[in-house]
């Protein structure tokens, strides 16, 4: 569960792993930006700035490996409780990322997606977000999903409300409400199931992130904070994923 793999495997090693055995969708809780900055004697906001560099490295590596999707937990619905100055900086940094990383997104062939609420985001951020979404929509590479103002409980509540409304209006029969009906209405409906969830910063919790989607995900946690998370750490997580036996509630033939 933790980062105990002594040496990262190389990209060419992973290339030998059959595509069906690699994680198709990796979700990442990018934790520890503020703690890292404080440990370096820097303002908390500097940790968020440095974290953008890590996003660039990890998205590039995911593209090299042919990972279908990575979902990054950028801003939770609970993060609005943080000091206003930090929130203002986060919004500025998000807008800056959406503008300045467009060339990188296009060069890497990334297809940008965003999940979460839009109604609490500033108009200037939404404007740049929509422009980048449109520009990258036809890119053939890894889908880079930014979870912004996202909460797992909020998502499930929204889906429940939508289904209840459809049943009440006769658009959906009550007997048709099953797991598949819920999955089709999630933000991530068009994405593969989350195979691997990575958390930086060492905390042992899922923090209201993709609660439905990570039901059978493998979890890999590192003490490293997000600004110091490296390509090698990312490869380590994938190597350990490849070494695990996934039972999905069943048993292996030899057990």
79 is an active site residue? yes
Provide the pLDDT for residue 5: 44
Where are the chain's structural domains? 22-150+194-243
Q: Which of 3, 20, 33, 79 is catalytic?
A: 79
Provide the pLDDT for residue 2: 55
DSSP line for 26-58: EEEE---HHHHHHHTT--HHHHHHHHHHHHHHH
CATH of domain 22-150+194-243: 3.40.1180.10
Q: Structure tokens of 50? A: 């440095």
pTM, two decimals, is 0.90
Q: How many CB atoms lie within 10 A of CB 179?
A: 9
Provide the pLDDT for residue 223: 97
Nearest partner of 135 among 65, 192, 127, 57, judged by Cα: 127
31 is an active site residue? yes
Q: Structure tokens of 165? A: 């409304």
Q: How far apart are CA 240 and CA 41, in angstroms?
A: 33
Which residues does the chain have with pLDDT short of 50?
1, 4-6, 253
Q: Which of 3, 20, 31, 119 is catalytic?
A: 31
Is 110:139 a contact under the CB 8 Å cutoff? yes
């Amino acid at each position: 569960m933790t980062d105990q793999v002594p040496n990262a495997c190389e990209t060419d090693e992973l290339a030998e792993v059959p595509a069906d055995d690699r994680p198709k969708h990796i979700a990442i809780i990018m934790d520890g930006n503020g703690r890292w900055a404080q440990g370096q004697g820097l303002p908390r906001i500097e940790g968020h700035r440095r974290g953008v560099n890590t996003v660039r490295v990890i998205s590039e590596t995911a593209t090299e490996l042919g990972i279908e999707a990575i979902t990054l937990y950028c801003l939770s619905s609970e993060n609005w409780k943080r000091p206003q100055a930090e929130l203002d900086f986060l919004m500025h940094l998000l807008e800056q990322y959406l503008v300045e990383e467009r060339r990188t997104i296009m060069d890497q062939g990334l297809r940008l997606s965003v999940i979460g609420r839009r109604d609490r985001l500033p108009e200037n951020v939404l404007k740049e977000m929509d422009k980048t979404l449109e520009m990258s929509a036809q890119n053939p590479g890894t889908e880079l999903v930014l979870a912004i103002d996202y909460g797992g409980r909020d998502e499930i509540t929204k889906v429940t409300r939508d289904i209840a409304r459809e049943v009440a209006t006769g658009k959906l029969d009550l007997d048709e409400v099953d797991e598949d009906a819920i999955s089709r209405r999630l933000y991530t409906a068009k994405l593969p199931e989350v195979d691997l969830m990575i958390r930086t910063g060492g905390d042992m919790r899922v923090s209201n992130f993709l609660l439905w989607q990570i039901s059978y995900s493998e979890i890999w946690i590192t003490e490293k904070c997000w600004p110091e998370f490296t390509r090698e750490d990312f490869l380590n997580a994938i190597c350990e994923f490849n070494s695990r036996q996934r039972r999905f509630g069943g048993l292996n033939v030899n057990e």
